Structure 1
Amino acid sequence: MEKKGWDGFEIGAMLRSFDGAIRDIATTLPEDRPYSQSNSFTASVADWRIEKPLFNKDYCIDCQFCWVYCPDMSIISRDKKMVGIDFDHCKGCGICVEVCPTNPKSLLMFPEQKEEEVALAEWPQKEKKADTVVEED
């Protein structure tokens, strides 16, 4: 197949996601799938991202909201547990951070150049609930 840019396809062209016949794609890991050249999985958008989501597994409750709502399927999940982020395909939209229900969030946006270790050190800490004492008369 000749490799074309986004504007090289004819109107109404059908772009197949995979090369050849596919069986049981749901249980095939994304990195093992035979993606076609016209599939966005083969293209990286990382070079134009200015912010990136970083993941702190200490706060994650594995709700899978980030995986469900990510428009680019950039959340890597194995056995219903969040394991990381596919930075080749993440465009830095921040939807994963918005839908994260934990407090503090297990995903936060950081500048693209920030090292993960530095970002994790800056992560907000869980607030400890003050013990309330009820006085009896």
Structure 2
Amino acid sequence: MSKSIKDMGWDELVPGAALFSFDQTVDGMIAEVQPEDRTYAETNSKNAYVGDWRVIKPVWNTELCIDCQNCWLYCPDTAIISRDKEMKGVDYDHCKGCGICVEVCPTNPKSLLMFNETEKNEIALTKWPEKKEKGEK
């Protein structure tokens, strides 16, 4: 008898196993279904609070965001909140702090940056870098 993923410990997962975000039986494009209407796979962090795993978190600067949706598209745990192709925020209850959203952000400076988990977002926003000109490091 195989165990459910929810009954497994972190050290019992098979290396290289595919952990799907959504129930693979969904017909059509999952991107067209609002997050609250989706059927999440039991392997998705949506079914469990994971916010206490993080040591760093993404902070979103609304003034720099161009709503490209890269962060939403690449987030492995649907922790980016988007409505009608507009970024609305980060779901910190389900964000693991992987930083993928920051890596795929195309703005200069990035509209998402990683900060220490204990840093208040309001304080982090005051520490945002200035725009870099081409060739500047």
Kindly state the Cα deviation for residue 70 of structure 1 after the two structures are TM-superposed.
0.9
1:95 paired with 2:97, answer no
Aligned to 2:18: none
1:84 pairs with 76, 85, 89, which one? 89
SS of the equivalent of 1:92 reads: coil
For residue 30 of structure 1, report the CA deviation from its aligned partner: 2.0
For these two proteins, the number of residue pairs brought into alignment is 119
For structure 1, the 5+ residue unaligned runs are 8-16, 130-137
- Give the drift of 1:46: 0.7
RMSD of aligned alpha carbons: 3.1
Task: Tell me which structure has the larger Cα radius of gyration.
Answer: 1
- What code does the residue aligned with 1:56 have? N
Identity %: 57
Deviation at 1:6, TM superposition (A): 2.3
Shift of 1:45: 1.0
Match of 2:8 in 1: 6
- How far off is 1:29 after superposition? 3.0
Query: How high is the TM-score relative to the length of structure 2?
Result: 0.70
Q: List alignment gaps of at least 5 residues for structure 2.
A: 10-21
Alpha-carbon deviation of 1:126? 2.9
In the aligned structure 2, how far is the partner of 1:110 from the partner of 1:42?
25
